[in-house]
A and B are shown apart, each in its own frame.
Chain A
Amino acid sequence: MNAMNEANPVGSEIFSLINAIDAVSPDSPLEELAELFASPEYANLLSLPVVENGRPVGVISRYRFMDIYLKRYARELYGKRPIRNFINDKPLLVELDQPLSEAAQHVAANMKFPLTEDFIVTRRGRYLGVGFVMDLLKVMEQKMRANTDELEKAYTQLKSSQMALVQSEKMASLGQMVAGVAHEINTPLGYVQNNVAIGQELFLQIQSMMAEYEALVDKLLNDQASEEQVAVQMQLVAEMRNDVNTQEMLGEMHGLMSDSLYGIDQISELVLNLKNFSRMDAAANDSMNVNDCIESALNIGRNVLKNKVEVVKELGVLPKISCAPSQLNQVFLNLFTNAAQAMEAQGMLTIRSWYAEGSVYISVEDNGKGIPQENLTRIFDPFFTTKPVGEGTGLGLAITHQIIHQHGGEIRVESQVGEGTRFSIKLPATSSETVQPILKAVAA
């Protein structure tokens, strides 16, 4: 029989429509069809191809078969007769290398209603397989919508490449963060280093002063020392004592040391934050209080928020939930950054969290410029951004959405242009679901 299993030999558009169906011989008895039509293999077929010597001679439809076979005594009367006597010997034929549109036209012009037969695909007249009219029409329709489809395809591709981009976004925002944190560290580092350098200089001066004092005491205690020698040494010490600058600088030194200790504390705190934040523990499934993630993101985003945003926190008592903390940090940092960027001048960022009925809720609300209605449905799309080229990747919210989704949660947005925007997140608190390690997925 004619099973069709060679690869597409001519780059034909029809090729994909072929179903490799074993055809029946015109000499088979009609009763055989009863079994075939009932078998799962032929379940989708409207009609069976009838082929002799490799060439299609006709089709017999399920409809026609039923029509005959369900008649009284039909089995007895016709069961042993060859199929040849019952077939439609003018089947719908399509050549493999025929253009799709031509084939479609041919089929559309010759098919009968109700649709009872499939079409037969041949190659140079020889049987290849069966095609479904519906498929053909669908392909045609798709072809006509080619443009829209291209877009849709591009979109699907983008969606899958989003995974890979998660990592680069992570790197990018890490880069920004590092730049920000570098500034935060360089400021205390600046004065601590300078203070220590100045302290060292002063210490050397004090050392030499001490030496002169000692020399004076030595001379005073020494009977051998002349009056004149003592006087010279006294003069030297007096001069040093009267060096106003040194005196004043010494007076400042105490304050500078306290400043330095304060600066060192600040640096350690920043380093700790950075360490906590950037722990690439995507795989680790920690048990974590979401409030801590919020605090951590606020700390790390301090640089973006500082001087511009007044942060109001109304954080409720929350149970620990199972999550990937660094991913949630990322979520909050994205939301806070967006909020800050939406503010033209000073603004207010209100962060609330609460627990209710097995879920943790977080809302992040700003009084920035808001999001126009027509953009509301698009902001979670990868690459959607209203920011100038080079400033926004448009990935922030796409990734946010993805992370929340992977935590089994939901994120929603409400916004009013000119008034502000609120993002609401719901996370299951009793989630037994494991959080997908995003970075692993990329590597795979």
Chain B
Amino acid sequence: MYPPLTILGDTLTWLVENQQSVIEQTIQHLNVSLTSVGIALVLWVPLGLFLHEHDEFAPPVIGTAGMILTLPSLALLPLLIPIVGIGVAPAVVALVLYSALPMIRNTYTGLEEVDESMVRAGRGLGMTDRELLFKVKIPMALPVIFAGIRQAAVLVIGITTIAAFFGAGGLGESIFAGIRLDFPRQVLGATIVVSVIAIATDYGLLAVQRALPGGSEAT
């Protein structure tokens, strides 16, 4: 057993001594996370828009996305390996799938919840469906959509850690190696870095979201 202060000191020492690899792993971690969030954005936000126009598909699609989120990553990743191979690819696929629920659901509900009176005013003043979507609904829903993107990003940064177990790289490498070698300072050091990235992302995106008109109410 370690006294807490000792382990904290050991951890800091480990971080300083292994700067180089920590920085490399951080970059790799962010690379995997950002790629996944980027792809997810391009897929899921438009899907949310589609569901808004075609309500009848919303329950099954959002239900499926919710189900995916309950699959443990340690089970999903090995299932993907035979399909897309080892390395970054299965990690990105899994992370994109995990992003589906927050992004689709928030885009959909954000658009659905736009105040009916604004939609009616827009339509009554002669907006086409397209103008209504881009000039009224999307801007009004933006804080809620953005909140979904933020939730997905934080989720992805966390799960990227697990993907290292299957060869995706990133800070998870140090964590799993530390567990294998029974080297707590390494586990803790890498974990702290992941947490800092996740928290910084959360706050950074929250600040952006708050700056959007009407953004302070969305969570």
Partners in one complex: no
Chain A residues within 8 Å of B, Cβ to Cβ:
none
